[in-house]
Amino acid sequence: MHGMRMPTPRRAFYARRSTTLGTLLALFAGLLLLGAPTAQAAPPTPPSASTARSYLNALTVRAEGSSDGYSRDKFPHWITQSGTCNTREVVLKRDGSNVVQDGSCAATSGSWYSPYDGATWYAASDVDIDHVVPLAEAWRSGASSWTTARRQAFANDLGTAQLIAVTDDVNQAKGDKDPAEWMPPRSSYHCTYARMWVWVKHSYGLSVDSAEKSRLGGVLAGC
């Protein structure tokens, strides 16, 4: 009947059932979050798309330089960051989940989610540390005139989004290509990747070629 209140015992039962259901739903949601591939790879957050667009417009546009004289040895890495930990091990620890390291700082267990392709790996040997702006690309974009100390800082940079743990095969497929030639297989990561790339080039005063700028501009326009 309209206007009648539910008897107290029954109201209490429904209140308890509602509370229990809410608790179960919250627990279930938490379990889903734990089991979902989270954004484990965590280099420093790149600037927003609008800021990246302004950075891109400020970069010098010129034809890519020569690879003459280039060698990875001219970009010393991986250097010791602290104790026995080199840059690779620091990034593996930072970008992984539940990473366990031995006395020499080598990762002995853990998991790594590669945002480039959406794969998860459970052995550090399956993971490469990608230089977002490849060393050879940097060489052709201005790093050929740098001191060795500056090239070392670039190759081991933990302060920008220059280093990220990803699937080794994907990193090898990328090689030294710029965004006009290669983008991560996972299209949903293109915006983040473009922001990372532009941030690094802006931070180090590296140039872009016209095709590279066009591709980056197109991606950032859709972010």
139: pLDDT confidence band, cut at 50, 70 and 90? Answer: very high
- Residues of the domain holding 104: 40-221
- The 3-state secondary structure of the chain reads CCCCCCCHHHHHHHHHHHHHHHHHHHHHHHHHHHHCCCCCCCCCCCCCHHHHHHHHHHCCECCCCCCCCCCHHHCCCCCEEECCEEHHHHHHHHHEEEEEECCCCCEEEEEEEECCCCEEECCHHHEEEEECCCHHHHHHCCHHHCCHHHHHHHHCCCCCCCEEEEEHHHHHHHCCCCCCCCCCCCHHHHHHHHHHHHHHHHHHCCCECHHHHHHHHHHHHCC
Q: Is residue 5 part of a domain?
A: no
Domain tally, the chain? 2
Please tell me whether residues 45 and 18 are part of one structural domain.
Answer: no
154, 195: one domain: yes
Same domain (yes/no): 194, 124: yes
In a domain, 2, yes or no: no
Does residue 69 share a domain with residue 48?
yes
Co-location of 54 and 69 in the same domain:
yes
**55 and 164 within one domain:** yes
Please check whether residue 178 lies inside any domain of the structure.
yes
pTM score of the predicted model: 0.81
User: What is the distance between the alpha carbons of residues 93 and 87, in angstroms, rounded to a whole number?
Assistant: 10
Give the residue with greater pLDDT, 162 vs 32: 162
**From 29-38, 80-89, 192-201, the region with the lowest mean pLDDT:** 29-38
| Residue 24 sits in the same domain as residue 56 | no
In the numeric block, which tokens belong to residue 120? 């998860």
Considering the domain boundaries, does residue 161 fall inside one? Answer: yes
Same domain, 67 and 127: yes
Tell me if 3 is assigned to some domain: no
pLDDT at residue number 201: 98
pLDDT tens, position by position, 165-191: 999 999 999 999 999 999 999 999 999
- Asked if residue 116 and residue 75 are part of one domain, the reply reads yes
Inside any domain, residue 1 = no
- Check: CB of residue 62 under 8 Å from CB of residue 204: no
Q: Are residues 130 and 66 in the same domain?
A: yes
Residues 73 and 96 in one domain: yes
Please provide the average confidence, as pLDDT, over all residues in the chain. Answer: 86
Q: Residue 38 pLDDT more than 80? A: no
Paired sense of beta strands 127-131 and 119-121, if any: unpaired
Does the residue 4 lie in any domain? no
Q: Are residues 32 and 88 in the same domain?
A: no
What's the pLDDT band for 42 if we cut at 50, 70, 90?
Answer: confident
